Structure 1
Amino acid sequence: MSWRPTYRSSKFRNVYGKAASREQCFDGITITKNVHDNHFCAVNPKFLAIVTECAGGGSFLVLPIHKAGRIDPHHPKVCGHQGSVLDIKWNPFIDNIIASCSEDCSVRVWEIPEGGLRRNLSEAVLELYGHSRRVGLIEWHPTCSGLLFSAGYDFKILLWNLEVGAAVRMLDCHSDVVLCMSFNMDGSLLATSCKDKHLRIIEPRSGKVLQEADCKSHRVNRVVFLGNMKRLVTTGVSRWNTRQVALWDQEDLSVPIVEEEIDGLSGLLFPFYDADTHMLYLAGKGDGNIRYYEVSTEKPYLQYLMEFRSPTPQKGLGVMPKHGLDVASCEVFRFYKLVTLRGFVEPVSMIVPRRSETYQEDLYPMTASTEPALTAEEWLSGTDREPVLMSLKAGYRRPGQVAFKAPVKERRSGPGNGLDLLDMVPPKTENELLHMFFRQQDEIKRLREDLVQRDVTIQLMELQLNNLRNNSS
């Protein structure tokens, strides 16, 4: 038996993370100091929302996504809550609608004007009351724009029909605080993790628990459905307080399919899954690292790819929806990272190192669109539908402007040979070194293609010359 490790062939094996320059960050933001384990950040192709520190109530900023730079300390805020804001989420189908929940026991839905706020917004479109204690989590239904789920410290999950402005279902199957909620692709199943150390899969219309696991050896914090793979991923802590990731079969939660220890750090691990690329990202709260894996239905199930490292610790991360990515630069994922100590939000792009002269069909399959698949009434009556799909090809622009341009470095003086192998400034991090390597690989490939093209041109000219000689003779 060979001792050599085996590597799966994958187009995502060399994906690397690229942090934005300081000019492309959102600076001067008083990010909330609340210790609640949420992201405090939400993003879509129009706006970036960040929960801020505020005396005497709760507020959050809403900034146009393309207006980066230093933010005026008196910039208008959304400030209607009487308690600290604990979670915010953009409607996946309407870019101007955002929901928030708070320690004041309410859930509120806001409409942001086109172009952003010009004055403080204190009147919500809807104010929803039904929880007896503070509300820590909210989640939009993935295929229906009019349904919103909220989880409170009263151990209950409420389903709000925004078309009638009232709670239409109550899921009362938890014995402690709900830590995380995640829907499958069509919204027919809801997975929850709870402080009572149980992982549950629930039928969200009736509140019936379909599967349940008592996770004593793997204390689950976060859970996420893996698209249509009928699998779940959880992050948590082992008996020895090491951070773990586990993969589960949604039909049988008796034992995880695979369980892997990550490290001994104490911060929470936030999981993010991209159903289009089958990539799983694990970002640590309190550290600056983002590990990423490729998920498959065969062993080893979780194939480690690489790690983005940064010296700036993250409090939370917002994720840009797929239709907001820069497809011309082969960007497959983008985080917006909250850095509390410096008070700024830093975009981090995950990029496939590929020269994109044309639209890359294999990197961007049909993805969930901004059109809901069904109405709230249809879903409540028992209908399930897969998301309406769209192509990202319309977002491709040929002279592709990359999402974040790297600063131009000085080259060594002297005669060049068409390939700059040495920069005046050496790479400072592993990510910069990888980026330099892939850039040089692309340059070598381009030069080879040029040589082949020149050979073809020379051969054609020789043939034409021979024809001329034969005709003259």
Structure 2
Amino acid sequence: MNRFKASKFRHTEARLPRREAWIGGIRAGSVTSCGNHVKASCRWIAFNAEAAGVLGIVPLECEDGGKRTVSQLCCHSDVVTDFDFSPFDQLLLATGSADEMVKVWRLPESGQDLPGSAGLTLKSGGGPVDVLQFHPTADGVLASGAGKRVTMWDVGRQQPLTALDSHGDQLQSLTWKRDGRLLGTSCKDKKLRLFDPRASPAAFQSVPGHENNKDSRLLWMGASDCLISVGFSQMREREVKLWDTRRFSGAMLTVALDTSPG
């Protein structure tokens, strides 16, 4: 008797959408940054364009069966390093840039012109804004990372709530847990940190992460307490590590993605 139960997904396969649903002919940029290169809300898709400081904006749904029009949003005076849509307002887009600014834009309903200026500009300080992300459960709270500092912003009041200054080197990634209680960060000092920003001062734990200080990224595993980190080993091979944040010490699992030569 077979000890392993056959998966109900064993015969599934991916199906490409019809060609009419494709979005083609887009000239995306190749910006080197720690942030995202494409994000979507229920209304819009945003992506890095070729020109510095510009995002490409495409409506998710085309009207009357017509073709989607790619528009350009001139955001910053330097490279757009990261951007994120608010989970509470599908027309609200935050952008960060190498010009050390965080801007918040209100995109129009489909078929209308894009805004010529940001609704809100926040001066981050500390260097280029490398990463940013809206809080998943608190409306109007935005985390941005610049240099060695993470700043929590109250977008409605246009002021910082708190700053997390416990990093030893440049930030590479930040991610909110789905319930918003914890914030994880990865850093060029090869450490992962876990913050409770509600504590005063903000409480945190740190553990050794990947052995190479090349770019790394953190992601929460659904609604669980598990954190996934993607980075590089000492031999510059890509690897994925799985962490249990309830016992935040060594990684539970390490998977090498590259095969060593020889």
Alignment TM-score, normalising by the size of structure 2: 0.87
Say if 1:59 and 1:258 are closer, same or farther in 2 by CA, change over 3 A.
Answer: same
Tell me the equivalent position of 2:197: 204
Q: Which amino acid aligns with 1:104?
A: D
1:24 touches 1:69 (CA, 8 Å); kept in 2? Answer: no
Q: What is the Cα deviation at residue 244 of structure 1?
A: 1.6
Higher helix share: 1
Q: CA deviation at 1:117?
A: 4.3
8 A Cα contact 1:173 1:209, kept in partner:
no
Amino acid at match of 2:43: K
SS in 2 for 1:23: helix
Indicate how the Cα distance of structure 1 residues 10 and 208 shifts in structure 2: closer, same or farther if over 3 A, else same: farther
1:33 corresponds to = 30
Segments of structure 1 that go 5 or more residues without pairing to the other structure are 266-473
Identity %: 28
Q: How many residues align?
A: 256
In 2: Cα distance, 1:161 partner to 1:168 partner: 6
Q: Which residue of 2 aligns with 1:253?
A: 248
Going from structure 1 to structure 2, the CA distance change for 1:181 and 1:69 (only over 3 Å counts) comes to farther
Q: How far off is 1:240 after superposition?
A: 3.0
* Match in the other structure for 1:161: 154
Select the residue among 37, 48, 53 that pairs with 1:51. Answer: 48
1:76 aligns with 2:76: no
Q: Cα distance 1:139–1:44, how it changes in 2: closer, same or farther (>3 A)?
A: same
Give the match's secondary structure for 1:148: strand
**Which of residues 126, 134, 151 is equivalent to 2:128?**
134
1:186 to partner: Cα distance: 1.7
User: What is the distance in 1 between the residues matched to 2:68 and 2:42?
Assistant: 19
Residues 100 and 255 (structure 1 numbering): CA distance in 2 closer, same or farther, change over 3 Å?
same
Structure 2: where are the runs of 5+ without partners?
none
1:96 and 2:91 are equivalent in the alignment = yes
CA distance in 1, matches of 2:248, 2:81: 30
Give the equivalent residue in structure 2 for 1:213: 207
Bigger Cα Rg: 1
Which is strand-richer, 1 or 2? 2
Q: Judging changes above 3 Å, is the alpha-carbon distance between structure 1 residues 35 and 80 closer, same or farther for their aligned structure 2 residues?
A: closer
Q: Within 5 Å, give how 1:59-458 maps onto structure 2.
A: 59-67=54-62, 75-118=70-113, 120-152=114-146, 154-205=147-198, 206=200, 208-215=202-209, 217=211, 221-264=216-259
Q: Is the 8 A contact 1:233 1:247 kept in 2?
A: yes
Structure-1 separation of matches of 2:10 and 2:35: 30
Residues 215, 142 of structure 1: alpha-carbon distance in 2 compared, 3 angstrom cutoff = same
Moved runs in structure 1, 4+ residues, more than 4 A?
8-15, 68-72, 216-220
Deviations 1:94-114 (A, max 9, x none): 111111111111011111111
CA contact (8 A) 1:128 1:165 kept: yes
Q: 1:143 Cα deviation (Å)? A: 0.3
For 1:20 and 1:228, how far apart are their aligned partners in 2?
29
Q: Contact conserved, 1:161 with 1:167, CA < 8 A, in 2?
A: yes
Instruction: Judge conservation of contact 2:106–2:115 (CA < 8 Å) in 1.
Output: no
Offset, 1:165: 0.7
- In 1: Cα distance, 2:207 partner to 2:187 partner: 11
CA contact (8 A) 1:27 1:71 kept: no
Counterparts of 2:56 and 2:233, CA distance in 1:
37
Partner residue, 1:349: none
* 1:344-364 per-position Cα deviation (integer Å, ceiling 9, x unaligned): xxxxxxxxxxxxxxxxxxxxx
SS of 1:251's partner is helix
In structure 2, relative to structure 1, the CA distance for the partners of 1:221 and 1:170 (3 Å cut) is: same
Using the TM superposition, give the Cα deviation of residue 20 of structure 1 relative to its aligned residue in structure 2, in angstroms.
3.3
